[in-house]
Amino acid sequence: METQLYIGIMSGTSMDGADAVLIRMDGGKWLGAEGHAFTPYPDDLRAALLALQNIGTDELHRSRMLSQELSRLYAQTVAELLCSQNLAPCDITALGCHGQTVRHAPEHGYSVQLADLPLLAERTRIFTVGDFRSRDLAAGGQGAPLVPAFHEALFRDNRETRAVLNIGGIANISVLPPDAPAFGFDTGPGNMLMDAWTQAHWQLPYDKNGAKAAQGNILPQLLDRLLAHPYFARPHPKSTGRELFALNWLETYLDGGENRYDVLRTLSRFTAQTVFDAVSHAAANARQMYICGGGIRNPVLMADLAECFGTRVSLHSTAELNLDPQWVEAAAFAWLAACWINRIPGSPHKATGASKPCILGAGYYY
Mean pLDDT computed over 352-365: 96
Instruction: Give the pLDDT score at 56.
Output: 80
- Rounded CA-CA distance 165/275 in Å is 8
Assessment of whether the complete model's pTM goes beyond 0.85 = yes
Torsion sign (Cα): 205, 186, 184, 340? negative
- Rounded CA-CA distance 359/118 in Å is 20
Instruction: Give the pLDDT score at 67.
Output: 98
Domain ranges across the chain = 4-142+326-364, 148-321
Mean pLDDT computed over 23-34: 97
Give the number of C-alpha atoms closer than 13 A to the C-alpha of residue 263, restricted to the C-beta side.
Answer: 19
Mean pLDDT computed over 274-295: 97
> How much is the mean pLDDT over the chain?
96
The confidence band for 14, taking pLDDT boundaries of 50, 70 and 90, is confident
- Rounded CA-CA distance 117/112 in Å is 13
Domains 4-142+326-364 and 148-321 belong to one CATH topology: yes
Mean pLDDT computed over 95-102: 96
234: nearest Cα among 274, 181, 176, 174: 274
Q: What is the pLDDT of residues 157-204, one digit of tens each?
A: 999 999 999 999 999 999 999 999 999 999 999 999 999 999 999 999
DSSP bridge pairs for 36: 21
CB-based contact 288:160 (threshold 8 Å): yes
Give, to the nearest 10 degrees, the angle between helix 43-51 and helix 59-84.
140
Instruction: Give the pLDDT score at 175.
Output: 97
CB-based contact 359:144 (threshold 8 Å): no
Instruction: Give the pLDDT score at 81.
Output: 98
216: nearest Cα among 146, 301, 116, 107: 301
Instruction: Give the pLDDT score at 130.
Output: 98
- Phi then psi dihedrals of residue 72, to 5 deg: -65, -40
CATH architecture of 4-142+326-364: 2-Layer Sandwich (3.30)
- Rounded CA-CA distance 271/193 in Å is 9
- Rounded CA-CA distance 129/366 in Å is 11
DSSP bridge pairs for 30: 25
Q: What is the pLDDT of residues 32-79, one digit of tens each?
A: 999 999 999 999 999 999 899 877 889 999 999 999 999 999 999 999
The amino acid at 69: E
- Rounded CA-CA distance 14/46 in Å is 10
Q: What is the pLDDT of residues 129-143, one digit of tens each?
A: 999 999 999 999 999
Is the pLDDT at 106 greater than 90? The verdict is yes
- Range 148-321 classified under CATH 3.40.640.10: no
DSSP string over 133-175: HHHHHHTT-------HHHHHHHH-BTTB-EEEEEESSEEEEEE
CB-based contact 281:165 (threshold 8 Å): no
Q: What is the pLDDT of residues 215-239, one digit of tens each?
A: 999 999 999 999 999 999 999 999 9
113: nearest Cα among 302, 304, 336, 356: 336
- Rounded CA-CA distance 259/281 in Å is 33
- Rounded CA-CA distance 239/172 in Å is 9
Is the pLDDT at 1 greater than 60? The verdict is no
15: nearest Cα among 229, 252, 195, 267: 195
